Amino acid sequence: MGVPIAAWPMHSDQPMKGFLVTEVLKIGLIVREWEKREELVNASTIETVVRKLMASEEGNVIRKRAEEFGEAVRQSTEKGASTMTQTQSGEDPTEVQNSGLSSYMYSCGNLTNHEVPIVMVPFPAQGHLNQLLQLSCLISSYGLPVYYVGSATHNRQARIRANALNPSDIAKVYFHDLPTPEFDSPSPDFNALSKFPSHLQPSWDASMLLRKTIASFLRHISSKARRVIVVHDPLMSYNVQDVSSLPNVESYVFNCISVFTLFHWLSLSGGISMQHEEELLKKVPSLGRNYGR
């Protein structure tokens, strides 16, 4: 937060996020233009961008803007935390007492009826896993029991790659490993023109077979708690649909795509005029090229 970004978009919504960072927010530089995505990026190219960010007049401006942006986000987060603290001090009995536990690794057996556990159901791709893990750490910091539900492989991946999170915060989250059907694991094709990670498709297909397993877990945890909150990735909606059959369980969608990207996608597909300068609009990545060549 507050650090300049060297953006290197490759596929999906990344080009639009790169555009947001470099052209709209102006808190970073692009490593490789999206139109040149088929060209090789070597170490010297990355070094040039990093040096420009850290030791140039343009970099000084970007770093200052990034710091200001980071401070604004911190203030917004603190304001939200203050609001939540006030809510917890009122009549909502969702605050969890630690009871002297040396660890915050909750299991269903630790739950008491007055507690409200939050169950996170991420889609098994890094950009989705990491965002819900960050949200999990934020929520658990208020003393609420948080369950991060996924396969053992993807839960481990989320923990290992969470470099920006405090390990003590991650330790407060209970990772519940779900048994996952076997699936193929082909090697990535580094010569493919499209950089979309299609070699991960088998694991994504396998994740769509977790409905019964997740439903079983929700039934069990809902029998222990007064109320259960499920926060899931939009791509996992099929797997959590049985929430509707559990009277004390409610679900919410967490959209991992930035609001900026979502707005532009809807604008482009719906023919809605976007309020940007004409020259800036020319740089907006097209919808059709983000997932393919």
- What are the catalytic residues? 128, 233
At 217 the pLDDT is 95
Domain boundaries, the chain: 5-71+258-289, 93-253
pLDDT score of 18: 85
- d(CA 105, CA 93) in angstroms, rounded, equals 21
Cβ–Cβ contacts within 10 Å for residue 29, how many? 21
Q: Give me the residue label for tokens 């139109």.
A: 35
Q: What is the dihedral of CA 224, 227, 231, 236, to 10 degrees?
A: 60
Given this model, what pLDDT does residue 223 score? 93
The tokens for 253 are: 């969608």
Say how far apart CA 293 and CA 289 lie, in whole Å.
6
Domain range 93-253, its CATH number among 3.40.50, 1.10.287, 3.30.230, 2.40.50: 3.40.50
Query: How confident is the model at residue 150, as a pLDDT?
Result: 92
pLDDT tens for the chain, 293 residues long, are: 678 989 888 777 788 888 888 888 899 999 988 778 777 888 999 999 999 999 999 999 999 999 998 888 778 767 655 555 554 444 443 333 333 223 333 456 566 656 899 999 999 988 888 999 999 999 998 889 999 999 998 999 899 888 778 888 899 999 999 988 777 777 877 777 666 777 777 887 878 889 999 999 999 999 999 999 999 999 999 999 999 999 999 999 998 877 777 776 676 666 666 565 656 656 666 655 555 44
